[in-house]
Amino acid sequence: MIPTELSTHLTETLDLEIKDTQPLSGGSINQAVKLSTNKGDYFLKWNRSAPDDFFEKEADGLKRLRDAKSNLQVPNVISTGKPEPGRPGYLLMEFIEKGRTGNSFEFGQKLAKLHQTKAEQFGLEMDNYIGSLPQSNRQCNDWTEFFTQERIDPQIKMAVDSGKMDAGINQNWNRLSSKLNDIFPATTPSLLHGDLWGGNYLFDSSGNAVMIDPAVYYGHPEMDLSFTKMFGGFSAEFYSGYESESPLEPGFSERVPIYNLYPLLVHVNLFGGHYTSQFKSILKNY
Ligand code: ADP
């Protein structure tokens, strides 16, 4: 099940004696298993076609979230490896035992605290990935400029270059982007999870929210909150918890589809299909 070169590597470098592996579904990008070993259980994922720094960047994002002192839990990273001839890139981390339910109110509060971790500029000092796509984090002082140039423009270019959309889409997008300065409320750059849809957190057996698969950068806090509304999976208590720490600015709900043009475009580029028509129809509404 695990590529032999990878299990040999883990045994040699970490002295792990692998007793059992259990495949885990749910991920769209990588292969994942629960590893039972002489040292306890671990979560292992790997990918043969991932870029060299793919798992290092994921580990870096998890570390930034952990260091933010918001008390939001993230799995402890044990080790990462770049792809080598014959061996896939991998990420080994603490295995989180899932619980049936969790404390959503507290999750919301902790996310608001995470967003109180601030930086001088939007972006990050390094690029990373969202899903399997590159995410550019060139730092800048203006949120609208960052959202336009680092989030939407590169994804539209990718979609046009791959033939998923025609270049005429730029005209519709330019019409909306020229209004964004008046639409986005002013903010200072907040540390974001960056890909906070319902599949990227789980409740552990004590009911604590644990965040996984981040695409971190400093951005507008409404961006993370909008992601949570992309496919649902976050309860009313979650938003109450968030607002108990950081009340939302008026008009947030109307801005959600604009922030979510980004995850929508990511889906266009990863999967195409109906996401493309959804993207076009949202642009038309503006
Ligand atoms: P991908 O990177 O391919 O999207 P995921 O990281 O989402 O894969 O993981 C695949 C599955 O494993 C999901 O069901 C997820 O909930 C679960 N999972 C992810 N990280 C852990 C972990 N540290 N412990 C236990 N389960 C995990």
Q: What is the mean pLDDT of residues 35-46?
A: 96
Residue 142 bears catalytic tag:
no
pLDDT at residue 110 tops 80: yes
Whether residue 223 contacts residue 260, with contact meaning beta carbons closer than 8 Å, is answered with no
Alpha carbon distance, N-terminus to C-terminus of the chain? 49
Environment class of residue 116 by beta-carbon count within 10 Å: exposed (0-12), middle (13-18) or buried (19+)? Answer: middle
Instruction: Name 169's Cβ contacts closer than 8 Å, sequence gap at least 6.
Output: 156, 159, 160, 280, 283
Residue 252 Cα, ligand 1 centroid: separation in angstroms? 30
CA-wise closest residue to 36 among 58, 48, 20: 20
Closest CA to 225 of 114, 62, 98, 102: 114
Per residue in 201-216, pLDDT (tens digit) is 999 999 999 999 999 9
pLDDT at 90 over 80: yes
Residues 6+ apart with CB under 8 A from 263: 195, 197, 227, 230
Q: With 90 as the cut, is the pLDDT of residue 147 above it? A: yes
pLDDT tens-digit map of 175-199: 999 999 999 999 999 999 999 999 9
The CA angle 110-239-184, to the nearest 5 degrees, is 95
pLDDT of residue 204: 97
User: Beta strand pairing status for 128-130 and 201-203?
Assistant: unpaired
Give the integer Cα–Cα distance in Å for 98 and 203: 6
Which ligand 1 atom is at minimum distance from the Cα of 58?
Answer: 2
Task: Delimit the CATH 3.90.1200.10 region(s) of the chain.
Answer: 104-284
Residue of 201, 69, 195, 55 whose CA lies nearest to 130: 195
Q: Is the pLDDT confidence value at 27 over 80?
A: no
Query: Which residues lie below 8 Å from residue 214, measured CB to CB, with a gap of 6+?
Result: 58, 61, 62, 64, 65, 74, 193, 194, 195, 200
| Average pLDDT value for residue range 25-39 | 89
| pLDDT score, position 284 | 86
Measure 163 CA to ligand 1 centroid, in angstroms: 31
CA-closest candidate to residue 195, choices 223, 156, 234, 236: 223
Query: Band of the pLDDT at 61, cuts 50, 70, 90?
Result: very high
Output the six-digit token pair for 234. 């976050």
Distances (CA, A) of 84 to 14, 50, 57, 268: 17, 11, 17, 31
Percent of the chain with pLDDT over 90: 92
- Rg (alpha carbons) of the chain, rounded to whole number: 20
Nearest to 98 by CA among 169, 26, 148, 183: 26
Mean pLDDT over each residue of the chain, to the nearest integer? 95
pLDDT, residue 33, reads 96
CATH 3.30.200.20 maps onto the chain at: 4-94
Whether residue 211 has its Cβ less than 6 Å from ligand 1: no
User: Rounded to whole angstroms, how far apart are CA atoms 28 and 23?
Assistant: 13
The tens digit of pLDDT for each residue in 232-277 reads 999 999 999 999 999 999 999 999 999 999 999 999 999 988 899 9
Mean per-residue pLDDT, 73-86: 95
Q: For residue 203, how far is its CA from the centre of ligand 1 (angstroms)?
A: 12
Does 3 have pLDDT greater than 80? yes
Would you place residue 285 in the very low, low, confident or very high pLDDT band (cuts 50, 70, 90)?
confident
What are the Cα distances from residue 101, in Å, to 206, 210, 236? 9, 12, 14
- 28 pLDDT more than 80: no
For the CA of 26, the nearest atom of ligand 1 = 14
pLDDT of residue 9: 95
Rounded average pLDDT over 147-152: 98
Confidence category of residue 69, pLDDT binned at 50, 70, 90: confident
What DSSP string runs through 211-242?
E-S---EEE-HHHHHHHHTTS----HHHHHHH
Question: Could you tell me the two tokens for 201?
Answer: 């957190």
- Tell me which fold the domain 104-284 belongs to: Aminoglycoside 3'-phosphotransferase; Chain: A, domain 2 (3.90.1200)
| All residues at 6 or more sequence positions from 67 whose CB lies less than 8 Å from its CB, including other chains | none
| Binding site membership of 75 for ligand 1 (Cβ less than 6 Å) | yes
Taking the CA of residue 212 as reference, the ligand 1 atom at the shortest distance is 20
Q: CATH code for 4-94?
A: 3.30.200.20
78 pocket-lining for ligand 1 (C-beta < 6 Å): no
> Which candidate in 15, 53, 67, 195 is catalytic?
195
Q: Burial of 198 by CB count in 10 Å (0-12 exposed, 13-18 middle, 19+ buried)?
A: middle
Q: Rounded distance, CA 248 to CA 49, Å?
A: 40
Interface predicted TM-score (ipTM): 0.96
